[in-house]
C-alpha cells in the first residue's frame, strides 16, 4: 500500500468516527481513563483507545496548547508525538525570531512535522509553509487539523524529508528525533534522526536560513563548532526548565550571538565582562533561571543586574538592594545557618524547609536528610560556597 493509500484509509476512518469520538472525549474529559479502557464494552460504538487518546490530548492542551481548546474539531496524536511536540509558547517564540530577519519570510519548510505545532505557528508569519512527515497517520491528522483551524497556507507532504527536498526556501526548520532505536533519549546531533551533521551541505543548499532545534542537554559551544555558519543561538525556557536550544545557520562567519530571555551576548564578550565577587553575602540571594544557567553569561549577569557573584564556580549572586526583575529565584537572607542537624532544629522549629544546593559537595536530598528536615513550608535552606568557604543560609523566597 502506498503512503497516499494509507493516508486515504486513515482519513476515511477519521471522517466516519471523529465526531462521535470527539463528543465522547469532551463528555468524559475528567474521567479516569484506565476505567474507561476497562469498561470499553459498555460503549460498543466507541473506539475507546482513540477516545482516550483525545481525552489525554485535551488535558495536555490545557497547559501546553491552550488555544487548541477553542477548536471543536481538533484531533490529538498519540502520547509520544504529544510529548515531543513544542509548547504553543515555544512555537510562537520560534516564529517571532523570523521578524528579526533583514528580509521578508515568504516560504518555510518544516522538515520534521510531527504534531505540527511549529508548522501552525510558522503559518502565521509566512506566506506558505510546507509540512513534511513520514508517518501517514500524523499527515492525515495534520490535514484534518489544518482544515479545522482554517490554516489554508500549509501543504502536507507524506515523505522522507531529505528525499523530498528539491525546492529552495527562506527558512528550513529541522527538529530531529532525539531517540535511538531502543527508544532511549539522545542529545548529540549525530545520534538523532535525521543526522544533521551528515546532511548539513544538502540542507544549507536549499535555504537562506536553517533553524535547528536541539535537545536542552546539547553542548552549545560544541554544537556551534559542529554546525555550519551558526549566526545565532536561542535558549528557550519555560516552567523553570530549559525546553530547547535553537541554532540559526545562515551567513554567520563571526562569533554566534547567544540569546537567553531578554539578554544577548557572545562568548568573547562574556570572557571580558567585569565580574564582581562578594566579600560577604548581602540581604538578598539570586539563583539564575534555566535559560541563564544553560546559556552561561555568568560574568555578564553582574553587569546586567548590578549584583555580586558568590564565587568563581558558584553561579549565585547577592546584593543589598533587591533586584526585582532578576531572571530566576530571589531569596531574602534571614540569617547564616550552620549546616548541622542541631542548628537546623533550633532555627526551623516546624522541621520543614526546602533545600537549595549550588556548588556544594552534598546533594539537596541528602542534605535535607542530614539536617533532619522534611520538604515543605515557607523557609529555604541554601547551601553553597562563598569564595572558597562552604556555608548555608536560612532564607525566605521573595
Domain residue spans of the chain: 17-76, 83-260, 272-397
Quote the radius of gyration of the chain (alpha carbons, Å). Answer: 25
Q: Could you tell me the CA-to-CA distances from 117 to 57, 76, 78 in Å, in that order?
A: 13, 11, 14
Q: Which three cell numbers stand for residue 78?
A: 498519540
Q: Are 90 and 66 in contact (CB under 8 A)?
A: no
pLDDT of residue 245: 96
48-64 vs 3-27: helix axis angle to the nearest 10?
Answer: 70
Residue 80 dihedral angles phi and psi, to the nearest 5°: -60, -40
As a dihedral over the C-alpha atoms of residue 285, residue 290, residue 294, residue 299, rounded to 10 degrees, the angle is: -20
Length of the chain: 398
pLDDT of residue 375: 95
* H-helix or E-strand spanning residue 200: helix 200-205
Q: Which residues pair with 158 in a beta bridge?
A: 133
Cis peptide, bond prior to residue 194, ω within 30 of zero:
yes
Q: Could you tell me the CA-to-CA distances from 274 to 301, 312, 316 in Å, in that order?
A: 10, 12, 16
- The DSSP output letter for 177 is B
Cα separation, 102 vs 111, in Å, equals 23
CATH class of 83-260: alpha beta
Q: Are 82 and 60 in contact (CB under 8 A)?
A: yes
**Segment 364-369 long-range contacts (CB within 8 Å, at least 24 positions apart):** 367/339
pLDDT of residue 319: 98
pLDDT of residue 17: 57
pLDDT digits (tens, 9 = 90+) for 294-309: 999 999 999 999 999 9
Q: Which residues pair with 392 in a beta bridge?
A: 383
Mean of the per-residue pLDDT values for the chain? 92
Residue 102 dihedral angles phi and psi, to the nearest 5°: -90, 20
Cα separation, 126 vs 88, in Å, equals 17
Cα separation, 176 vs 314, in Å, equals 34
Residues of the chain scoring pLDDT < 50: 13, 16
Cα separation, 372 vs 339, in Å, equals 11
* Collapsed DSSP state (helix, strand, coil) of residue 317: strand
Positive or negative: CA dihedral 20, 11, 52, 29: negative
pLDDT of residue 181: 60
* Collapsed DSSP state (helix, strand, coil) of residue 201: helix
Cα separation, 42 vs 45, in Å, equals 9
- The DSSP output letter for 99 is G
pLDDT of residue 188: 79
Amino acid at each position: 500500500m502506498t503512503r497516499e493509500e494509507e493516508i486515504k484509509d486513515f482519513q476515511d476512518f477519521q471522517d466516519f468516527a471523529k465526531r462521535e469520538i470527539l463528543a465522547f472525549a469532551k463528555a468524559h474529559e475528567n474521567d479516569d481513563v484506565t476505567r474507561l479502557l476497562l469498561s470499553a464494552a459498555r460503549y460498543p460504538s466507541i473506539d475507546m483507545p482513540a477516545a482516550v487518546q483525545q481525552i489525554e490530548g485535551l488535558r495536555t492542551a490545557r497547559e501546553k496548547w491552550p488555544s487548541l481548546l477553542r477548536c471543536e474539531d481538533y484531533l490529538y496524536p498519540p502520547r509520544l508525538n504529544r510529548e515531543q511536540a513544542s509548547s504553543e509558547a515555544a512555537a510562537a517564540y520560534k516564529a517571532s525570531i523570523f521578524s528579526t530577519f533583514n528580509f521578508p519570510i515568504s516560504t518555510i519548510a518544516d522538515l520534521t512535522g510531527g504534531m505540527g505545532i511549529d508548522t501552525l505557528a510558522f503559518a502565521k508569519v509566512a506566506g506558505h509553509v510546507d509540512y513534511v512527515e513520514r508517518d501517514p497517520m500524523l499527515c492525515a491528522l495534520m490535514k484534518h487539523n489544518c482544515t479545522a483551524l482554517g490554516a489554508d497556507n500549509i501543504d502536507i507532504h507524506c515523505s522522507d524529508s531529505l528525499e523530498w527536498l528539491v525546492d529552495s526556501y527562506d527558512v528550513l526548520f529541522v527538529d530531529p528525533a532525539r531517540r535511538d532505536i531502543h527508544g532511549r533519549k539522545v542529545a548529540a546531533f549525530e545520534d538523532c534522526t535525521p543526522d544533521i551533521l551528515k546532511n548539513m551541505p544538502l540542507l544549507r543548499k536549499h535555504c537562506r536560513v536553517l533553524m535547528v532545534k536541539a535537545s536542552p542537554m546539547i553542548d552549545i559551544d560544541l554544537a556551534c563548532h559542529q554546525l555550519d555558519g551558526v549566526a545565532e543561538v536561542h535558549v528557550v525556557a519555560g516552567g523553570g526548565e530549559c525546553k530547547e536550544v535553537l541554532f540559526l545557520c545562515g551567513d554567520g562567519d563571526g562569533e554566534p550571538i547567544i540569546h537567553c530571555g531578554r539578554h544577548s551576548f557572545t562568548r568573547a564578550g562574556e570572557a571580558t565582562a567585569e565580574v564582581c565577587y562578594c566579600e560577604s553575602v548581602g540581604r538578598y540571594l539570586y539563583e539564575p533561571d534555566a535559560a541563564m544557567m544553560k546559556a552561561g553569561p555568568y560574568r555578564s549577569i553582574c553587569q546586567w543586574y548590578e549584583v555580586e557573584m558568590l564565587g568563581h564556580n558558584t553561579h549565585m549572586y547577592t546584593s543589598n538592594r533587591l533586584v526585582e526583575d532578576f531572571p530566576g529565584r530571589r531569596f531574602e537572607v534571614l540569617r547564616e545557618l550552620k549546616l548541622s542537624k542541631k542548628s537546623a532544629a533550633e532555627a526551623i522549629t516546624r522541621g520543614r524547609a526546602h533545600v537549595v544546593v549550588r556548588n556544594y559537595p552534598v546533594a539537596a536530598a541528602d542534605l535535607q536528610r542530614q539536617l533532619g528536615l522534611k520538604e515543605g513550608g515557607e523557609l529555604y535552606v541554601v547551601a553553597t560556597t562563598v569564595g572558597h568557604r562552604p556555608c548555608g543560609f536560612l532564607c525566605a523566597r521573595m
